[in-house]
Amino acid sequence: MWKTKFTQLLNIDYPIIQGAMAYISDGKLAAAMSHAGCAGVIASGGFSPDEVRNEIRRFKDIAGPNKVFGVNLMLQNRNKDDIAQIACDEKVPFVTIGAGNPVPWLEPLHAHGIKCVTVVPNAKLARRVQDAGADALVIEGMEAGGHDGKITLMALMENVLPDIEIPVVAAGGIVDGRGIAAALVMGASGVQMGTRFLLAEECRLHPNAKQAIIQAADTDSTVTGFSKNNSVRGLKNTFTEKYLQAEYQGASREDLETLSRGTNKIAAVDGDVENGFVLAGMSLTHLRQIEPVSDIIAQITKETEEVLQKATSKI
């Protein structure tokens, strides 16, 4: 059990969040995170509002009624009002808010006792959401799987951390205890990880996609949509080759959207890892086995403690 600003905010043992993953992160995965003393986030991307409500109830059935978990509110999604209403009705402990301006959402969610953890891509927005009353921030570097900004996590930590008082959670490319220790030493109060938990036993990602991640190394991820400010990171394959060729031959945003429509689901749910897009971050080389969440957390927390203990002997 560790004590950081973020563990105190959420009342959890370790400041590790399993980030929302569209089509993938459900009540079962979040319950496994809770059981391991951490917090999981139920995705809303790829799930209907009814499915989100069912996953919240599934979490409560497995983990117990008063355990901590989050729901992801994606502000570019059409169903955002429904998801926010469900979060309020179900008394969700916290939401992670991304892909838009979170400021107008803070007051109504706070009024229902929901903590607001906002995902921000730069220092300016970090200060703005802090001033508006966000409870914590996630800074997500371009190493991350899924939708990305254009700044690395190291640069975000350098730019954001000195100015922010509320807990800051570092995300993007962290898969082990060395990464967690580095983020904590930099001044973050916690980490959010996605890709590492794709290989959790409790994760519903299609087995073909899990195998594709196991076989991948550092150079095997790529970003689509960078030139259109719509970056998405995942594994290189037939789909990304086709998309990137079209993107760099000047295809319109609409044509690119048509090309990519449905590709997350094709990989994550149907298991076609060539024509679908397997979203994953850059830190892939050492992800080699499928393990229960409890083993992953035991391993990475032990490693973090060892790395931090040895840290002062480095100079």
With contacts defined by CB under 6 A, name the span among 105-113, 239-247, 279-287, 291-299 that binds ligand FMN: 279-287
Question: Cβ closer to ligand FMN: 144 or 307?
Answer: 144
Q: Judged by CB under 6 A, does residue 280 bind ligand FMN?
A: yes
Strand order in the sheet with 146-147: 146-147, 232-235, 221-224
Return the amino acid letter for 255: D
With contacts defined by CB under 6 A, name the span among 84-92, 168-176, 244-252, 298-306 that binds ligand FMN: 168-176
Return the amino acid letter for 73: L
Site string for ligand FMN, 45-74 (x = CB under 6 A): x--------------------------x-x
Q: Judged by CB under 6 A, does residue 43 bind ligand FMN?
A: yes
Least distance from C-beta 179 to ligand FMN, angstroms? Answer: 9
Among 21, 136, 180, 183, binds ligand FMN (CB under 6 A): 21
Q: How far is CA 52 from the centre of its chain?
A: 17
Site string for ligand FMN, 78-107 (x = CB under 6 A): ------------------x-x---------
Among 143, 176, 220, 272, binds ligand FMN (CB under 6 A): 143
Question: Cβ closer to ligand FMN: 125 or 174?
Answer: 174
Q: Judged by CB under 6 A, does residue 203 bind ligand FMN?
A: no
Looking at residues 171 to 200 of the shown chain, list those that interact with ligand FMN (rule: CB under 6 A): 171-174, 192-196
Least distance from C-beta 255 to ligand FMN, angstroms? Answer: 23
Least distance from C-beta 135 to ligand FMN, angstroms? Answer: 16
The torsion angles phi and psi of 107, rounded to 5 degrees, stand at -60, -50
Residues that bind ligand FMN (CB under 6 A): 19-22, 24, 43, 45, 72, 74, 96, 98, 119, 140, 143-146, 171-174, 192-196, 279-281, 283
